[in-house]
Structure 1
Amino acid sequence: MNNELNVESKLNILGTNLFYLLIGIILLTIGSLVQRWDIYKGLIITEYIIILLPALIYLKIKRQSLRKVLRLNKLSLKQILLIPIIVILSYPIGAFLNLIVMIFLSFFGEVKPPPIPIPNNEIELLKGFFVVALSAGICEEVMFRGLIMKGYEKLGKWKAIIFSAVLFGLFHFNIQNLLGPIFLGLLFGFIVYKTDSLYASMLAHFTNNALALFLGFIVNKFNTGNTTPSNVTLDISYTKTLIYGAIFLGAISLVAGTIVVMLLKKMPSSDNYISIYNEDYKKSMLTFVESIPLIVILIIYIIINVLNFSV
């Protein structure tokens, strides 16, 4: 028992934050380079070599049980059926939150489309399902709802969910795609704790990305004759269009969100599930030293987005 407690203590917040900073820097340098070389091959390298492999090595160096930290526990059939439905209904909420940011940015200048590979044909769609949906669902969940969320549990499970979700949003390094991933990170984290299984968030992540790819594919099919330039400076009329879209998505999100809450309550809990609402926290908040890696990554995030927005 003492040995088990000593092993658990080795996964701490400072180490987790330093690991996050290191992987973020590698993503922005090597990851960006290989993705510019070839987007699909670059994403494979990013997901498996830059994100997944270091996370597994870090956990082994810290002498952590992968099964325990990553919660590699089976899902029930009802959980497997409910999770995709919950994620599909949550999709407009994430889109609505991202749209709010786009509306804000459109008042100040040019809004550029995020560099996401949108499939133009069925072969690219299948590639996307493997690279963008399945690979990201596995690798990013191991890092964020596995390593990082476990590293933050000394603050309590709710704060672990919140911190891992915010770090997940920042990790995209694109302000237009910030609030949506943070919302999804909160949802994925809650699902992991309720099911006591990382497979739950992997399934949820895959469903979200696969849906995004499929919708992008359908839109491309209908817009094959569209001659609108890829980079458009948004004026106030376009901003109004975004606002109308946000109102429409907001109404859908309100209804969908209500159903999502109901389904989350109905989703069966794991036998090991312990309520995350009333906990005795081991510590209240991050120390200054623990915050330094996050301050650095936030500064990098701001610089990147200011440069992207001003170019």
Structure 2
Amino acid sequence: MQSKESMYKANLKKPKGPIFKANVYFLIIILIQVFGGQLLGPILKKTGFNNGINLSIAHFIFFIIPAIIYIIVTKQSAKKVFRFNKPRIQDILWAFLIGLIAQPVMVFFAVLSSFFFKNDIAQFMQSLDALPYWMMLLIMAVTPAITEEITIRGIVLSGYNQKNKHIAAIMSGILFGIFHLNAQQFLYATALGILFGYMVRVTNSIFVTMVTHFTVNGLQVSMQKFLVPVIQKVSPEKVDATKELTFNMKIAALSSYGVLAIIFGTLLVLIIMKMEKENRKIGIIQPNETKVSRGEYEASFNDGIIELNGNENSYLEYENEKILNIPLVLIIIVYIIIMVLLK
């Protein structure tokens, strides 16, 4: 028979916080990618579609279906979780420009990663060369701009709503790097993920990062489809040289792109600050990042309202929820194991 004290403590036990839930969801998604691919791969091969189309199908099965289940199970508002809010036209234009400006920064981190890991992404891109341009865009730009944004800037980022934008952007960015399950992609995917996290928090709309995500990937696809063949015809040895850079060539590239990364990275920061200033001015996001109404016991954040059923202590608990938890530790362990096995 339970004592009154133990029963009292049990009643005081609070449900797991949003960060814990977001990390659990992300861990499940990682496991689905690893084991689901092994199960679904042979089935998709029997469809007769090419690898690219199969990849798009797998993306929707692995990421969209779980997202729908998550919303149903947690009974949350899909509009609030995914931030399906209409963005300003100016923010859409900024999003497109950010996708262009971010390229040198991404290349810098890609070159930096090449010192430690082999670049197998180029080989995958070449395997899609025979496909029509529109299909390459569908596979490499449209699909991830939807599925990956729904997963990371939707469910995962929403778990960090009670944290300031810096913590939310950094944590969702790191998880975005892990999400790709490729050591060579980790650095630039993390940098891009942090950028995307800021964009969503200062615009309160997932559509802006969908535009930027599409622009980033779409530009890479376009270069692979149109620019590389031209260079190959004019100077074949130049294309070959970029595939296997010597150490000295990598140092030279790192230095050059390092300067560009500083310049364009500064521009990105200025654009994000301008977007935030404009959206605060017209009330899309709140003047203060976190403002608590003690009377109504609800927390107002710069990206929406989180209702806490009149329990002020629940807000304080969520506000102080720790980032490091068991699911996050398991995510890191699983990622390291996968990287070691794939090495």
Task: Using structure 1 for the length normalisation, give the TM-score.
Answer: 0.82
Structure 1 position 296, deviation (Å): 2.3
Q: 1:300 to 1:284 in 2, by over 3 A?
A: closer
Deviations 1:92-114 (A, max 9, x none): 112211211212x16xxxx2423
Is the CA contact (8 Å cut-off) linking 1:165 and 1:181 kept in structure 2? yes
Give 1:136's aligned amino acid. Answer: P
Is the CA contact (8 Å cut-off) linking 1:152 and 1:160 kept in structure 2? yes
Task: Tell me which residue corresponds to 1:283.
Answer: 320
Work out the CA distance in 1 between the residues paired with 2:161 and 2:138.
Answer: 31
1:142 aligns with 2:150: yes
Pairing of 1:250-265 with structure 2 (within 5 A): 250-265=258-273
Could you tell me which runs of 5 or more consecutive residues in structure 2 were left unpaired when the two chains were aligned: 1-14, 293-317
Work out the CA distance in 2 between the residues paired with 1:90 and 1:243.
Answer: 21
Structure 1 position 44, deviation (Å): 1.4
The range that moved more, 277-286 or 54-63, is 277-286
Structure 1 position 307, deviation (Å): 3.1
Is the CA contact (8 Å cut-off) linking 1:34 and 1:41 kept in structure 2? no
Work out the CA distance in 2 between the residues paired with 1:203 and 1:96.
Answer: 22
Structure 1 position 141, deviation (Å): 0.7
Structure 1 position 221, deviation (Å): 4.5
Larger radius of gyration: 2
Pairing of 1:136-215 with structure 2 (within 5 A): 136-215=144-223
Give 2:319's aligned amino acid. Answer: K
Structure 1 position 165, deviation (Å): 1.0
User: Residue 326 of structure 2 is aligned with which of 256, 276, 292?
Assistant: 292
Structure 1 position 302, deviation (Å): 1.8
Deviations 1:63-107 (A, max 9, x none): 11111121111122211112111221111112211211212x16x
Pairing of 1:1-311 with structure 2 (within 5 A): 12-31=18-37, 34=41, 37=45, 38-103=50-115, 105=116, 111-114=118-121, 116-118=124-126, 119-121=128-130, 123-217=131-225, 218-223=227-232, 238-267=246-275, 268-269=278-279, 271-274=283-286, 282-283=319-320, 285-286=322-323, 291-309=325-343
Structure 1 position 294, deviation (Å): 2.4
Structure 1 position 41, deviation (Å): 2.4
RMSD over aligned CA atoms reads 2.9
Q: 1:11 to 1:221 in 2, by over 3 A?
A: farther
Is the CA contact (8 Å cut-off) linking 1:55 and 1:142 kept in structure 2? yes
Deviations 1:243-299 (A, max 9, x none): 111111111112212222222233332623136767788115235xxx222222322
Could you tell me which runs of 5 or more consecutive residues in structure 1 were left unpaired when the two chains were aligned: 1-8
Give the length in aligned residue pairs.
288
Is the CA contact (8 Å cut-off) linking 2:228 and 2:239 kept in structure 1? no
Work out the CA distance in 2 between the residues paired with 1:219 and 1:90.
Answer: 20
Is the CA contact (8 Å cut-off) linking 1:158 and 1:277 kept in structure 2? no
